[in-house]
Structure 1
Amino acid sequence: MKLINKSMLTVLITLSTASIYYAQETQDTVKSKSKDIEEVILQGVTDIAKDRKTPVAASTIKAAQIIERLGNQELTEILNTTPSVYATKSGGGFGDGGITMRGFESRNIAVMVNGMPVNDMEGGSVYYSNWTGLADVTSFVQTQRGLGSSKLGIASVGGTINFITRSADMRKGGVVRLGVGNDDYLKTSFAYNTGKTDKGWSSSFLMSRTAGGTYVENTEFEAYAYYFALGWEPNKKHNFQFTLTSSPQWHNQRTFAPTIANYINFNPDKDGTPYRQYNSDFGYKTGANGERYAIANRANYYAKPVMMLNWDFNMSEKSKLSTVLYMSNGRGGGTGDLGRVANKSLTGFYDTTGHFDYDAVFAANQAVNLSNPAAPANSTLIRRASVNSHDWYGILANFQHKLNDNWNFSIGTDDRYYYGYHYQVASDLYGASGYKENKNLNVAPYVVSNVYDYKKLSWNPFGGSTAPLTDQIGYSNDGEVLWYSGFAQVEYTKNNLSAFVQGSVSNQSYQRIDNFVIDGVTKQQGQTVNRKTGFQNLFGYNVKGGANYNINDNHNVFANIGYYSKQPFMNSVFPSNLQVVNPTLTNEKIFSAEVGYGFRSSKLNANVNLYRTEWKDRWLRRSMQFDTGVPGSPTINGYAEISGITQVHMGVEVDAVYKPFQFLEFQGMLSYGDYQYRGNASGSTFDDNNNPITIAGAGANSTLYLDRVKVGGSSSNSIPQVTASLGTTVRPVKDLNVYGTWRYVGKLYSSIDVATFSNIANQERGVLQLPDFDLFDIGASYKIRLKNTTQYFTIGANVYNLFDTTYIADGATNIFGSDVITGNTDPDKGKTYEQAGRMYNGVATANRVFFGFGRTWAANLSFNF
């Protein structure tokens, strides 16, 4: 898993800063005789879609529902009842979940906080474990599917997710919360708002701690969150907001998807069923007193403070300027194994329970004499920490002007500077005297013995960003990104018609810096390279527009269309983790069109959307495990790089809310998609040391036969093409809510496997389809009011996966039942998996998957005052 640094869900949990955008925009917007223009949405930078006005497909989840139903789930899972969204826990570690929208993965979904993009500047990734406090400070979260209404030049291929947080000038009051759940989950939080004083000052803060484990073995975690907002409104023309927030955390992980066979083989009950909690990424060591304790191989740790200053300037009744300055310094990374001992990697030390035998690892390491100058490099096996820190600074400004009652325009800029630090250090020597490094070409091979504990976080946002060069191992490279962009928008509203046209241009400038390279001496791919590549400038743009027409009070229709020339991510500019620029670099092209219909009445609200998105020249990197085919040889960790991908995503979405009585409400959703690759692509495979490999037909510059194949995910993510849900809420008495939800996932396709599609014979059968599944959740909450009407207790409880359904949530491989077993030492060699009876629910047991969690629960108690 890539490090949390790449999360940037922070670069702004910016939180309130722009939250002011929303709070102020709804209160002090530029005055006009036409209220419609103010409501069309595109206010400030929040770009919140307004019902029956903004011509995009949108869904909104309010704070009350988040607090009531989220419990100990992943934050994005609250969106699973909205159309075309599929959020899972992936490996199951705290905050490690994944999400897709309309078949597009998270790096191509624009995640925003108060309208400001927070996707990582290098790779687009977002990791939610950084933001455990986000659920507590969110007023509502809105998804906009498709290119959306945001004016910024952001990666909204599948859609946007916009978290709107509370502002400092909320009414005076506070709340204390306590949450508990399965596997020792415990969350405590305290928040308070001072309210606004007569002189315009206001403040708000939150502190919380969350700890425990998840449903999966050895996934303990500990996370803190703090949030502080200070506001000052000296007069009606000016409003200032300062925000500081962070959520430092560490958590053990399960990043490797085990085979179905291992889930079954390592079930302690030996009853032939999969042990869904099984985690192959940790093991046991015997202590001095004979007790066994667990050691995690995979873990993540991160602290990402964000500071922000927002200034709203009401220049006149017709003009307004909104400006945000922000800074985000992230510190942390993730752990894994590095090196070999006794000619074995860590996977060569599994015990009979499917976990690492650390007693054997320690013994083998202790037998290696690194003080001998002849000792080879990488001759010990250690746990490394892959550091992925960064410094990020930005400014976002938006000027709005109202021409008249019908026309409004805005123009602005979004400028950012980012510097990322990427290297490895030792996290645990596993009994060795050190680790010998030889990849740093600037110095002779050296032995590293300093250890960096992943549970000791850096709480200082201004702390050091790098360890000494002589402590760095494996690799050491930096990424520098300059982003300049401008955007403009014109809006028109008259009577029942509202429309907008908007466009943006951006220049993304990337530079890669390799600290292990010698200027003018080191050669890569036949080229002499330097430590710094120099900046590579990539120009991109987008243009989009749409219109909504309200036929009458009940019916409305809308349409939108857009084109986006999207710059590729940094790892496609410098592929294979080298200093060589991609000679075939090209922008990705996205064309999207959508039409929709809405119905509104006192009892029924319903929406229907039809969409088509075409994505050309896509570039993709995915982590992989390669089987060498050699008896007794461990798998090879590596990655594949795929270029020239074209995808077409089409579908229909229906969602509705029906309220026949005041005490009864039904919510429903159905999404049906058809996501296919068009044409073929080319792929190359490499090991973790960037050496080209040829495994099972997948090799450098191989053709991938993907035409008409269903779209699968990358890494261990899966993509469904059918989702549905039906929920009901009953309020039998005042302040009591009882609710339940049924959710269906179908046409679920595993991730794309390079080794599979380099063989043209596999094109027709396509990507492996995983079994459909149904899930049921239930819950209840009750509010106990005190004599003081501003004070009350709330108690609630939720049960997720009520019937303890066993299901596969994500798949990493494409092995079919008709495939022939090839292992030389396998007793079933030559048979198909079906012939050998090695199938589970229609899926070959050699497939690597993540099972969804079984039955889990959460309960909470809060006191508002």
Structure 2
Amino acid sequence: MKQRLVLITALLALLLGLHTGAFAYAVSGVVKDTSSGAALPGANVILEGLNLGTTTAGGGEFEFPAVQPGEYVLSVSFIGYKVWKSSIKVRQNVRLDVLLEATSLPGQQVTITAERAVERETPAAFDNLQRQTIDRTHWAQELPMMLSELPNLFSYSDAGNGLGYSYLKIRGFDQKRIGVMVNGIPLNDPEDHEVYWVDMVDLASNTQDIQVQRGVSNSLYGASAFGGSVNVVTSTQLRERGIFASVGGGSYNTRKTSLAMSSGLINNTYEVYGRFSRLLSDGYRDNSGVDSWSYFLSAVKYGKSSTLKLNLYGGPEIAYAAWDAVHEDELKVNHRANPTPGGYKNTIDNFNQPHYELLHSRQISDKVSLDNTLFYIRGKGYYEGLKRNKRLRDFGMSPVATFDPTLFGGDSLDYYATTDIDGSEMLARDELGRYTIKRSNLVRQKWVDKYQVGWIPRLHIKHSGGDLTLGGEFYTFHSNHWGSVLWSKVSPLDSEPNLDYYGYNADRPAAAAYAHELYHLNDKLQLMGDVQLQYKYYHFKSKQVANYIGALRNAYEVTDFFVNPKLGVNYNATERLNVFGSVSMSNREPADSD
């Protein structure tokens, strides 16, 4: 009886196995480059949900020989290409031709995004700085210094060694009139239009490529770019899994330490990357050192028709002031001279401004895609310095009465109230015999606490004649400014410690919408049309602090509305020669200092 039971069980198992195998099918295919048609050996191929994975052979082929009937997601990844995902129904043997789209232009390794100018298509003068060039030229210096060799671009740094405060100009326009973006997000401060590269030290280590345009840029490059634009794209290439460390040093006691981590691509779906760096330098000029930390964290999820990316980057910095000019005679004696008022060594800039980015891209159809970007930028910090011979009233303090006329030595006439006696200027005394001090040396900090929240949508439509982009830029900005006196050589008895002597708030909401068309008349001739509508609002209100009371308080509102049209044409005369031109108008509201 037991033998019969064992025999029946074995027969059932055999029949079940035959039945199951009879309904298992092969899923196979070949992976190629969508532009050249070249096979891509070594690509990762995964059948999601089954934990089945393989790599393509020398001819780009892959095969899963026995897949049960059902619906699955097939995903393919390869370094330098977008992750490909597609739903498949296994009801019979399935054969696929998988075409991967490169994230870089062949031969140039320039990241492809809808916001980038393209050679022989876009009527604009531009240059691309590729990842290979960045790796070769970037050591620790800030981005403006790394871009200094590009045509029509001039850059310099206060400290003289490429760290600390750095600046760039394009065709003579300073960076307040240059549109700077990271991943399509504007970096120009809404208040003063400046770009504070010192708050993004070592950003180049996490950059895939940089495109620099010269001249008035189109709407894809932000709202107000007069002299040009700089578009930075952070690293999007798939990285090998691992932990990487580097240590370096250079002139003026410059040191850089960096630690990076990459998860690699997990199941063709997830990727996590992070880098932490510290940069230290004494600076070329005296007392012009910098102590900066840098972090860049990124997490990506690749879906069937969408990509979701979260970026966080920034880093606290302490930079010693080196922006004051030096007389030519002093430079002849000491070329590294850096004046510090009163010999005060703690003249520093201390600031931290983290950036948060959430980028989502969805391929709606073969011809339509939608990008949405949310961003949040928060900055807080101060500048500290010694001020000599300043009026006490300007810092919210009353004149000080004293019986001591020697507090400021030989400079007493500059600090005390004076009177004219027989044609000579003398220290004045009141009826009690006291002297009055009107001025003092003091240490003050100028603080700012600000944030910016924004949304950038873009709809890309490919049609038979070219490419149409509809987009916008919407953000709100708020800042809180105040100044505090940390120390004064003399001060009234009733003055408070860390006395605030001014304060104001500013709000700058803004909105912009645009349409951008690149139309191909034929293989040789392309036309560009671009129009942008822009709304800006500015509300300024000073706080009731120190002398700013009653009618002396400033408060005002300003509204601006701009229409910015642009037209351009590109003609490809030969395979090596193209001619282009454009006519553009750009408007910008005044900065707070204007």
TM-score w.r.t. the length of structure 1 is 0.49
- CA 1:481–1:378 in 2, change beyond 3 Å: closer, same or farther? farther
| Selected match of 1:447 from 472, 495, 498 | 495
8 Å contact 2:391–2:438 — kept in the other structure?
no
Does 1:413 find its partner at 2:435? no
Shift of residue 28, structure 1, vs aligned partner:
7.3
| Selected match of 1:401 from 461, 472, 476 | 461
Shift of residue 238, structure 1, vs aligned partner:
2.0
Shift of residue 297, structure 1, vs aligned partner:
5.2
More RCO (CA 8 Å, sep 6+)? 1
Code of the residue aligned with 2:335 in structure 1: it is R
- Once residues 80 and 550 of structure 2 are traced to their aligned partners in structure 1, the CA distance between those partners, rounded to angstroms, is 55
Secondary structure of the 2:481 match is strand
Spell out the pairing of 1:302-701 with structure 2 (5 A cutoff). Answer: 302-338=351-387, 340=389, 379-404=439-464, 406-427=465-486, 429=487, 432=489, 435=491, 447-450=495-498, 471-473=499-501, 475-493=502-520, 494-516=522-544, 522-523=550-551, 532-533=555-556, 535-572=557-594
- Once residues 518 and 279 of structure 1 are traced to their aligned partners in structure 2, the CA distance between those partners, rounded to angstroms, is 33
- Once residues 221 and 48 of structure 1 are traced to their aligned partners in structure 2, the CA distance between those partners, rounded to angstroms, is 34
After superposition, give the CA deviation of every residue in 1:288-318 in whole Å (9 maximum; x if it has no partner).
xxxxxxx425321110011111111212222
Secondary structure of the 1:413 match is strand
8 Å contact 2:342–2:388 — kept in the other structure?
no
Pick the structure with greater CA Rg: 2
After superposition, give the CA deviation of every residue in 1:512-533 in whole Å (9 maximum; x if it has no partner).
0100379997335xxxx6x643
- Once residues 437 and 84 of structure 2 are traced to their aligned partners in structure 1, the CA distance between those partners, rounded to angstroms, is 65
Shift of residue 192, structure 1, vs aligned partner:
2.0
Shift of residue 379, structure 1, vs aligned partner:
4.2
Partner of 1:60: 128
Kindly report the root-mean-square deviation, in angstroms, between the aligned alpha carbons of the 2 structures: 3.7
- Once residues 183 and 304 of structure 1 are traced to their aligned partners in structure 2, the CA distance between those partners, rounded to angstroms, is 26
Secondary structure of the 1:523 match is helix
- Once residues 220 and 521 of structure 1 are traced to their aligned partners in structure 2, the CA distance between those partners, rounded to angstroms, is 39
Shift of residue 167, structure 1, vs aligned partner:
2.7
Partner of 1:349: none
- CA 1:331–1:375 in 2, change beyond 3 Å: closer, same or farther? farther
Partner of 2:419: none
Code of the residue aligned with 1:337 in structure 2: it is L
8 Å contact 1:168–1:204 — kept in the other structure?
no
- Once residues 414 and 385 of structure 1 are traced to their aligned partners in structure 2, the CA distance between those partners, rounded to angstroms, is 34
8 Å contact 2:566–2:584 — kept in the other structure?
yes
Code of the residue aligned with 1:340 in structure 2: it is N
Secondary structure of the 2:585 match is strand
- Once residues 544 and 456 of structure 2 are traced to their aligned partners in structure 1, the CA distance between those partners, rounded to angstroms, is 36
Code of the residue aligned with 1:550 in structure 2: it is N
8 Å contact 1:377–1:435 — kept in the other structure?
no
- CA 1:125–1:200 in 2, change beyond 3 Å: closer, same or farther? same
Partner of 1:172: 241
Does 1:125 find its partner at 2:194? yes
- Once residues 182 and 520 of structure 1 are traced to their aligned partners in structure 2, the CA distance between those partners, rounded to angstroms, is 47
Secondary structure of the 2:220 match is coil
Partner of 2:178: 109
Code of the residue aligned with 1:60 in structure 2: it is N
**Bigger Cα displacement from structure 2, 118-127 vs 333-342:** 333-342
Code of the residue aligned with 1:227 in structure 2: it is F
| Selected match of 1:146 from 215, 224, 227 | 215
Secondary structure of the 1:167 match is coil
8 Å contact 2:443–2:485 — kept in the other structure?
yes
8 Å contact 2:286–2:338 — kept in the other structure?
yes
| Selected match of 1:196 from 265, 268, 271 | 265
Secondary structure of the 1:223 match is strand
8 Å contact 1:91–1:256 — kept in the other structure?
no
After superposition, give the CA deviation of every residue in 1:832-861 in whole Å (9 maximum; x if it has no partner).
xxxxxxxxxxxxxxxxxxxxxxxxxxxxxx
- CA 1:335–1:171 in 2, change beyond 3 Å: closer, same or farther? same
- CA 1:480–1:389 in 2, change beyond 3 Å: closer, same or farther? same
TM-score w.r.t. the length of structure 2 is 0.71
8 Å contact 2:317–2:351 — kept in the other structure?
yes
- Once residues 537 and 518 of structure 1 are traced to their aligned partners in structure 2, the CA distance between those partners, rounded to angstroms, is 29
Secondary structure of the 1:340 match is strand
- Once residues 324 and 399 of structure 1 are traced to their aligned partners in structure 2, the CA distance between those partners, rounded to angstroms, is 12
| Selected match of 1:80 from 126, 134, 148 | 148
- Once residues 378 and 229 of structure 1 are traced to their aligned partners in structure 2, the CA distance between those partners, rounded to angstroms, is 55
- Once residues 456 and 84 of structure 2 are traced to their aligned partners in structure 1, the CA distance between those partners, rounded to angstroms, is 20
8 Å contact 1:25–1:43 — kept in the other structure?
no
Shift of residue 225, structure 1, vs aligned partner:
0.6
Secondary structure of the 1:216 match is coil
Partner of 1:671: none
Shift of residue 146, structure 1, vs aligned partner:
0.3
Secondary structure of the 1:261 match is helix
After superposition, give the CA deviation of every residue in 1:520-566 in whole Å (9 maximum; x if it has no partner).
97335xxxx6x643x42111121112222222222211111111233
Secondary structure of the 2:509 match is strand
Code of the residue aligned with 2:564 in structure 1: it is N
Shift of residue 27, structure 1, vs aligned partner:
6.8
- Once residues 63 and 360 of structure 1 are traced to their aligned partners in structure 2, the CA distance between those partners, rounded to angstroms, is 58
Shift of residue 403, structure 1, vs aligned partner:
2.7
Code of the residue aligned with 1:280 in structure 2: it is P
- CA 1:506–1:153 in 2, change beyond 3 Å: closer, same or farther? farther
- CA 1:176–1:118 in 2, change beyond 3 Å: closer, same or farther? same
Code of the residue aligned with 1:504 in structure 2: it is Q
Partner of 1:792: none
- CA 1:566–1:115 in 2, change beyond 3 Å: closer, same or farther? same
| Selected match of 2:225 from 135, 156, 172 | 156
- CA 1:532–1:192 in 2, change beyond 3 Å: closer, same or farther? same
- CA 1:561–1:62 in 2, change beyond 3 Å: closer, same or farther? same
Q: Which runs of 5+ in 2 are unaligned?
A: 1-78, 86-98, 395-406, 417-433
- CA 1:51–1:403 in 2, change beyond 3 Å: closer, same or farther? closer
Partner of 2:305: 237
After superposition, give the CA deviation of every residue in 1:554-601 in whole Å (9 maximum; x if it has no partner).
2211111111233222333xxxxxxxxxxxxxxxxxxxxxxxxxxxxx
- Once residues 128 and 46 of structure 1 are traced to their aligned partners in structure 2, the CA distance between those partners, rounded to angstroms, is 25
Partner of 2:15: none
Does 1:278 find its partner at 2:347? no
- Once residues 555 and 476 of structure 2 are traced to their aligned partners in structure 1, the CA distance between those partners, rounded to angstroms, is 17
